[in-house]
Structure 1
């Protein structure tokens, strides 16, 4: 009966993480098989899996990690490797903190933190992260603390927003205080009386000095015209209107204007007074005072400028946030498609490899049968089209393996110009404008050439095969306003542009242009993956792509690549590698039996000694047992504990080192960094032909 209760508690789990938890080999830990878990643990895990909030269970003194789908998103690249690992090994940078949590909660205590700052490694770099953390003990069936349930809510974005708000409010209060002090510190510049009938001014010494009257001038007879000459011309019209209004209607008079100082500069003053009327109701006297308001006006202008800047910053922030949200939605869509594409591509390319391998073997077995040769060639051509389709999907999803190096624009175009002209035809003119001193960029040259060729062919089709395509390059500096929401940082970039004068696109078509399988061409004339491939390649290279178009006005495509500070790559001449076989011993590590069988037959027919292993575990055992090989030819993605990268690491430290050639339909990131291959990593993508296999093997062995 207890067994049935435990089984029932653990069988009610749902979701992706539930499947991963069941599939994990818990017998490697103190928890034992899932079927033997306690009712308490099963119930806690069921509660955890049902929560939309990031939850993680730390079970036992080592804190074995069991978590839900929401926590897997927070874990990022550490998922799914965190599952079943002790928390101190899973998060080594905060091991001491997690040990304190385990000791406290397993002793029956609870812990909570608001906006706790921890330094975590993300993308290989330390980053300050803020989180709300809540830790509670979880009892076993005997009521004793056996685990810790942790609620993890990241608040990094909220804290950044709060800090910006506090900085803005502090700056605003400081400016407001300056304005208040300026108003309270207004200095009296003198008093005056205007005799309206006689049109004469009288005033004190300070008034006379303010308007720069001569020192020997009588203070009882001051010329109004002389005073008017010291007033800023731009303020005279408004001041005259205010005076006329005061003479007509009476009431308080307050006018702000600028007076020219002896040094030629202008200072702001406030003239304040009131017109007096005689018994007949006619204005006859106008007394008043002059107050220095220059500091106040400067403060007001500063505050106005600050307010406008603040409004602009808010507007920019809102615009950037909207752009970032759109970028996030686009990125999530690409990631979803990319994840699907990557999984499908691996199996799809394995199937293509099986088909291609057997077709090539059939062609070799029937060399004199023309009918067989014709049909095999047609089938191989179809396999190559399928491989191209898979490659384009991987490019769009930013999962194609890249081999970047540092090039200048002229270095890239030197080998591309003739190919472009042949592909476009004689009726298309190419206008190339490249800077003499172009900055260098770090890109995969072959993929960039393919991208430019794709754009040029699209431009040719848009111009119906006639006209001029402009290809230009420029060194540019991108600011924050341009980069907002585009997923790139400010700084120096090299811009490559392809411009045509073709039909152009309307707004609706332009919006979908980079979507996979979207095309405006007739059926059978395009897959709709050309622009998608260009988009994925540019993004994977750390750049950005912009496209503008108007119906009847043509299309402009701009590719932005970050400037590279590294030395320009030197191009060595390609060595001729014969397609002949050899006598060396090759260890083939491939989990797909059909692929392995065809590959082994290719190699044996070419004279090589061949050893085989169905996975990395078997291959490593053979190598540790003393088997001597000249080259390891291994699939990248295989089942088992030993990965292909582990085989390569072993091979590198041998004396002498053993050559390694990888093959895969989809590399993931096991042998690459963001799918960018290091110079000493050799990869043969599936499906491959016998000639490509032999050429690559000879090249790796020769190197």
Structure 2
């Protein structure tokens, strides 16, 4: 190997990473300028670059990362911005592990791990990986440990393969148990062993008798072609494919086929076995057994012939197919509208946030001007209407962030009672029905209350403000027939129903009732998004919605939510702080300048010290440079390499952790799973006002 003795100290540096290392501005790190690197560091990097194994150098107490081409492939989507990054920031999800590695090796120690299981986010999503890891100290020119060289050998595929092999062995043992039971039942037709290496088939007397071998045939060397000739022609190719698959993958072999008897009739058998492999992983032996399943197969065929001629069966199949096709059509339409509304909502809510923020600031700056106050108030009402419209679109498209929890329907109905009566008027009566032992359900309580309120308002309009509105919740078990084509699975559900005795709907109107912007009300009396929002919320919650209506008789809307077997958490009441302001330092990360400026001014008026960054990259640079903050207030969707989720991951591993508050008009599931937020994720939806902002900031800071 040629060592570094040229004028630039880069002889023998080849490959993509060599170029990236030379081009990187190392003066921003403790390593200093590339030209001033010590000879020991250059030599170690040169040897690392020449290695075909994934190797990464962690230099200094911070563990600045320098790595070779093989490691860049291992890093996945985190390459290339891992280069030059402290290891704890580059891999925040395993920060404690890497801190231990650096501390141990800088003290002169070594570490090694075999099949170490870690959870990494190489491409934005958590994945389980298994690694062989070897860590050794690297000395500087004075001979003292100054860095760590780490060899990384990924064993994920090997571990998964071993687990699959173990599963195959478990299945094989299960097959043996089944054979034992078959023996006890007298259904065993024989056993066989195929020596794959020598291509020799052997079997016992019952096996030879089943395949009609000559009575004097040597049982340790049975001609393969005789057994193959006895298999039904329609089954032969399929059986061969199953055998090849079992030999290739090691999966258990279970094949049902027909064997010709001496009288020309056919006997149904089940061949069961599993391929055995040698130490090199090559196929060695294939033992198995034959089980008589002729009686069962004959019974199945008789039943099949009987059911084929039933017209009702045909009608049910056709109806189920039509329902599935309609469900697919509706789902595709929802996905198309969801993709459109999600992008529109994000930009629309940003515009509303700019307007709302400046309106609130204007109102604060002109407190004694009644004309300004009147116009600002009217404008803010319009902004809130726009925000509600955007929220309804997101709900219909199943993109609305939810915060579900376990609730009893009775508690929800009781809290809604006064609001419903006040909203619907005194001339309309509300009748509530509910079982004493109602099941729990796991939903976003605010969204469910909004859905019930929407349905109740529709019912009031249909009854022209007079009559009886029935509100009920009941436990119900749904079977497979009911769930077919509805996107839900059979099981326990809580059914919430809203029933009115109003004018009802025609079949044509009923068919379009959940369509966005469809309404039968006069212009200006409805957006046509109420039922659409209810539909989207129920589907996003894993449930199902049905509506039936008869003209002149009324309408019934039924919401089905899966039963929750968990009990609700006890609620603790916290007193809100008298002062919403504070003295802490807040880093505002927002790519929209107008939104950023308005948020900064609102926070500064409350007494906070405010730092700003136009994107995640700039924010992370400030944090790495040592700026101390108490809260990161960040937009969810921003351009750049560093995402809002990366900032949150960094904040969690700090000691103590830094609080994070997200804001967005549409999260795109960057911080949520299926648009459902975890309990430790805080989101302030756009557009927001100063009271909501300061109250949420104070709440997150107070922890």
CA positional deviation for 1:545: 0.2
The residue aligned with 2:399 is 399
Q: SS in structure 1 opposite 2:371?
A: helix
Contact 1:579 1:691 in 2 (8 A): no
The residue aligned with 1:561 is 561
Matches for 1:497-646 after TM superposition, within 5 Å: 497-578=497-578, 580-646=580-646
Contact 2:433 2:471 in 1 (8 A): yes
* In structure 1, C-alpha distance between the alignment counterparts of 2:409 and 2:683, rounded to whole Å: 26
CA positional deviation for 1:93: 9.9
Contact 2:307 2:313 in 1 (8 A): no
Matches for 1:240-255 after TM superposition, within 5 Å: none
The residue aligned with 1:390 is 390
* In structure 1, C-alpha distance between the alignment counterparts of 2:637 and 2:124, rounded to whole Å: 23
The residue aligned with 2:690 is 690
Deviates more, 1:643-652 or 1:306-315: 306-315
Q: 1:655 to 1:308 in 2, by over 3 A?
A: same
* In structure 2, C-alpha distance between the alignment counterparts of 1:424 and 1:172, rounded to whole Å: 68
Contact 1:430 1:471 in 2 (8 A): yes
CA positional deviation for 1:324: 1.6
Q: SS in structure 2 opposite 1:563?
A: strand
TM-score by length of 2: 0.58
CA positional deviation for 1:303: 4.4
CA positional deviation for 1:652: 1.1
Q: SS in structure 2 opposite 1:583?
A: coil
Matches for 1:367-382 after TM superposition, within 5 Å: 367-382=367-382
Unaligned segments of structure 2, at least 5 residues: 1-15, 20-71, 77-121, 130-159, 162-237, 243-254, 260-264, 267-294
Q: SS in structure 2 opposite 1:505?
A: coil
Q: 1:435 to 1:91 in 2, by over 3 A?
A: closer
Q: 1:607 to 1:322 in 2, by over 3 A?
A: same
The residue aligned with 2:665 is 665
Q: 1:172 to 1:459 in 2, by over 3 A?
A: farther
Q: Deviations over 1:634-655 (max 9, x none)?
A: 0000000111111111111111
Bigger Rg, structure 1 or 2 = 1
2:319 is aligned with 1:319? yes
Q: Deviations over 1:315-336 (max 9, x none)?
A: 4443323222211111111111
Q: 1:552 to 1:92 in 2, by over 3 A?
A: closer
* In structure 2, C-alpha distance between the alignment counterparts of 1:370 and 1:622, rounded to whole Å: 43
CA positional deviation for 1:580: 2.5
The residue aligned with 2:472 is 472
CA positional deviation for 1:515: 0.5
Q: SS in structure 1 opposite 2:564?
A: coil
The residue aligned with 1:652 is 652
Contact 1:634 1:644 in 2 (8 A): yes
Q: 1:367 to 1:570 in 2, by over 3 A?
A: same
Q: SS in structure 2 opposite 1:415?
A: helix
* In structure 2, C-alpha distance between the alignment counterparts of 1:578 and 1:675, rounded to whole Å: 33
Q: Deviations over 1:150-200 (max 9, x none)?
A: xxxxxxxxx9xxx9xxxxxx99999xxxxx99xxxxxxxxxxxxxxxxxxx
Matches for 1:295-374 after TM superposition, within 5 Å: 303=303, 306-307=306-307, 315-374=315-374
Contact 1:347 1:665 in 2 (8 A): yes
Contact 1:506 1:550 in 2 (8 A): yes
Q: 1:413 to 1:579 in 2, by over 3 A?
A: farther
CA positional deviation for 1:300: 13
Q: 1:344 to 1:416 in 2, by over 3 A?
A: same
Q: Deviations over 1:110-143 (max 9, x none)?
A: xxxxxxxx99xxxxxxxxxxxxxxxxxxxxxxxx
The residue aligned with 1:681 is 681
* In structure 1, C-alpha distance between the alignment counterparts of 2:701 and 2:582, rounded to whole Å: 10
Matches for 1:156-305 after TM superposition, within 5 Å: 303=303
The residue aligned with 2:66 is none
* In structure 2, C-alpha distance between the alignment counterparts of 1:343 and 1:406, rounded to whole Å: 31
* In structure 2, C-alpha distance between the alignment counterparts of 1:329 and 1:301, rounded to whole Å: 36
The residue aligned with 1:124 is none
* In structure 1, C-alpha distance between the alignment counterparts of 2:17 and 2:677, rounded to whole Å: 34
Q: 1:89 to 1:572 in 2, by over 3 A?
A: closer
Q: 1:633 to 1:306 in 2, by over 3 A?
A: same
* In structure 2, C-alpha distance between the alignment counterparts of 1:492 and 1:318, rounded to whole Å: 27
Q: Deviations over 1:496-531 (max 9, x none)?
A: 000000000000000000001100111111000000
* In structure 1, C-alpha distance between the alignment counterparts of 2:605 and 2:629, rounded to whole Å: 18
* In structure 2, C-alpha distance between the alignment counterparts of 1:502 and 1:637, rounded to whole Å: 45
CA positional deviation for 1:299: 8.3
Q: SS in structure 2 opposite 1:411?
A: helix
CA positional deviation for 1:570: 2.1
Q: 1:647 to 1:452 in 2, by over 3 A?
A: same
Paired residues in the alignment total 438
The residue aligned with 1:484 is 484
* In structure 1, C-alpha distance between the alignment counterparts of 2:17 and 2:301, rounded to whole Å: 71
Q: Deviations over 1:279-317 (max 9, x none)?
A: xxxxxxxxxxxxxxxx9xx98996489426976555444
Matches for 1:72-221 after TM superposition, within 5 Å: none
CA positional deviation for 1:350: 0.3
The residue aligned with 1:77 is none
* In structure 1, C-alpha distance between the alignment counterparts of 2:480 and 2:312, rounded to whole Å: 13
CA positional deviation for 1:573: 2.4
Q: 1:453 to 1:94 in 2, by over 3 A?
A: closer
* In structure 1, C-alpha distance between the alignment counterparts of 2:301 and 2:670, rounded to whole Å: 59
CA positional deviation for 1:596: 0.3
The residue aligned with 2:47 is none
* In structure 2, C-alpha distance between the alignment counterparts of 1:398 and 1:442, rounded to whole Å: 17
* In structure 2, C-alpha distance between the alignment counterparts of 1:594 and 1:545, rounded to whole Å: 41
Unaligned segments of structure 1, at least 5 residues: 1-26, 31-60, 66-87, 96-117, 120-158, 164-169, 175-179, 182-294
CA positional deviation for 1:569: 2.8
Contact 1:516 1:529 in 2 (8 A): yes
Q: Deviations over 1:449-468 (max 9, x none)?
A: 00000000100000000000
* In structure 2, C-alpha distance between the alignment counterparts of 1:486 and 1:644, rounded to whole Å: 36
TM-score by length of 1: 0.58
* In structure 2, C-alpha distance between the alignment counterparts of 1:577 and 1:644, rounded to whole Å: 28
* In structure 1, C-alpha distance between the alignment counterparts of 2:681 and 2:123, rounded to whole Å: 29
* In structure 2, C-alpha distance between the alignment counterparts of 1:312 and 1:517, rounded to whole Å: 39
* In structure 2, C-alpha distance between the alignment counterparts of 1:600 and 1:320, rounded to whole Å: 57
CA positional deviation for 1:383: 0.4
* In structure 2, C-alpha distance between the alignment counterparts of 1:487 and 1:376, rounded to whole Å: 46
